[in-house]
Amino acid sequence: MPDIKRLSKFTTPLLFTLITLCICTATLAADIEGQLRNLIQTSNLRKTQYSITVKDLDYDVMLAQINSDTLLIPASNMKLLTTAAAIDLLGTDFAFATELRLVEALDDNGRPSLIIKGDGDPAFCDPILLKQHNLAIEDILDLWINTIKETGITHFGTLYLDDRVFDYQFTHPDWDKRDLMYHYGAEIAGLNFYRNLIDVTPVPSKYLGSEPRIIMFPNAGFLTTINRARTSKQDNFWISRGPDNNNLVFHGNVKFNRRGSTSITVHDPAAFFAQYFTEELGKHGITFDVIDRPKEHDTLPESTSLHAVRTTLPLVLARTNQNSVNMYAESLFKRIANKITGSPGSWANGAAAMRTFLRNLVGTSASTAQIADGSGLSRSNLISSHMLVQLLEAMYDNPDSIDMYRESMAYAGRTADGQRMGEGTLTRRFRDLKSGHWVFGKTGRLTGVKTVSGYYMYPSPEDPTITRTIAFSFMFNNIKAPVQEGQITVLQDKMISQIQKTMLTNDMAKVSQ
């Protein structure tokens, strides 16, 4: 992660008179907007819609506004709004906590009980995060199992599954039903586990026409599976399940041993985890009479905490913005709603909280925005590039949150000695950036939609140890053949290159005066 020392707004050196500065910035804005218009016009985009906004945040100068107030589908650029709201409304010190609790009071059968209390944490047993900390899922589960063993109790009355922090609408009604089996359409629950996925690896048989061996993780023995796949000279293995169950069917052909697995989403992740965990406990001689899921207003017996798995907000923000994991964004969206309303987080009260946050940040213009979900998977989201730049500016102006916000984003750029660096969805983007120049941002993609918004940052020519910051948002919708999405990616990268060239030329001219 590059070290950023930003230039404070309104504290820049007075190298020029106010009149000269106004003339220079007005000319600069005209130059950049004209250059971006020319790039768009020469790209032959046909009926592609676009909204472009660029602003110099240090000098408070709008550099380009092209259809800047046109409302378009943001795709994953919605995550910039969701993560900004999470920092502001949940707080920089917020941490999710998934908790194991003991009810010592005996039930009617003379047995104590356990509570698993979910907090909507999308990172609970996320294998990628655990690997970054040299942990495995078994380490977390074994910790809980050993904690239960230490109580000396082997037979419990009830396992209370308390996932009431969120409602039970696991997928957004706007989401394309074809997406719901894939990782980016994973369900959202008050208790998430393993990114709410099952990893499946088919192993071909020695004999053509025979069933491949199926390896699953989590390897839940209670799952119903049907193996219709066959070992073949072709390779097109796939998985399906019912819309409201976890009955898995394996299809297609398997030719090769795979290096990786094929994932399918889990229905009702909290219930899945409860079954899986009790199955694992059973292997250690720990049993329950019943699993109970309390209703919203039910009161649970008094309990004491045995252990809590906590995930700090920066970890969740990074998975949301750098890696663009939809489940993380939606968990933040619903968790914000839960905190604001005190009711189970839902897409309805999450959207209301987000609209209020945006209006407080950018003013009444936010009233035209349409907010449906937190990840941008819904095509009902509508926002303008101007609003996104206003959002980026408001976060930039907040010294308490800008570092956490910017560091959560994907980035690309070059170190002072010219070494190229990148992280997340921008790793392969903006290759023309010069030494010391960086883009921190968020990409977005749906069918016919390509967006990218963020901060372009570069060394100030007056003092190379200080970083200048330009906020930008490039939104493109209605991309249809013969226009290709890759063509839009190239155009967006060229736009940053053009801004870089013009800003450097302008800044060097000012220094030489």
Convert the pLDDT of each residue in 429-473 to its tens digit: 999 999 999 999 999 999 999 999 999 999 988 788 889 999 999
Q: How confident is the model at residue 506 (pLDDT cuts 50, 70, 90)?
A: confident
Domain-located, residue 437:
yes
287 located within any domain: no
Angle, in degrees to the nearest 10, between helices 313-321 and 78-85: 170
Range of the domain at 442: 1-17+27-68+411-513
Domain boundary among 265, 298, 322: 265
Q: Is residue 170 part of a domain?
A: no
Q: What local confidence, expressed as pLDDT, does residue 129 receive? A: 94
CATH label of the domain that carries residue 461: 3.30.450
Which pLDDT tens digit goes with each residue over 228-258? 999 999 999 999 999 999 999 999 999 988 8
In the predicted structure, residue 13 carries a pLDDT above the cut 70: no
| Rounded Cα–Cα distance for residues 123 and 121 (Å) | 5
Domain end call among 249, 265, 281: 265
The dihedral over CA atoms of 31, 36, 38, 42, expressed in degrees to the nearest 10, equals: 160
Report yes or no: 162 and 115 within 8 Å, Cβ to Cβ: yes
3-class SS letters over 330-372 = HHHHHHHHHHHHCCCECHHHHHHHHHHHHHHHHCHHHHHCECC
The answer as to whether 251 is a domain residue is yes
Share of the chain above pLDDT 90, in %: 86
Q: Residue 250, exposed/middle/buried by CB under 10 A (0-12, 13-18, 19+)? A: buried
Contact between 396 and 455 under an 8 Å Cβ cutoff? The reply is yes
Residue 120 falls inside a structural domain: no
| Largest Cα–Cα separation, the chain | 88
Q: Return phi, psi of residue 247, to 5°.
A: -80, 110
Chain Cα centroid distance, residue 333: 10
CB neighbour list of residue 398: distance below 8 Å, 6 or more residues apart:
none
- Give domain status of residue 369, yes or no: no
Q: What is the pLDDT of residue 10?
A: 42
Give the model's pLDDT for residue 209: 92
Last residue of a domain, one of 213, 245, 265: 265
**pLDDT surpassing 80 at residue 359:** yes
State residue 90 phi and psi, 5-degree precision: -85, -30
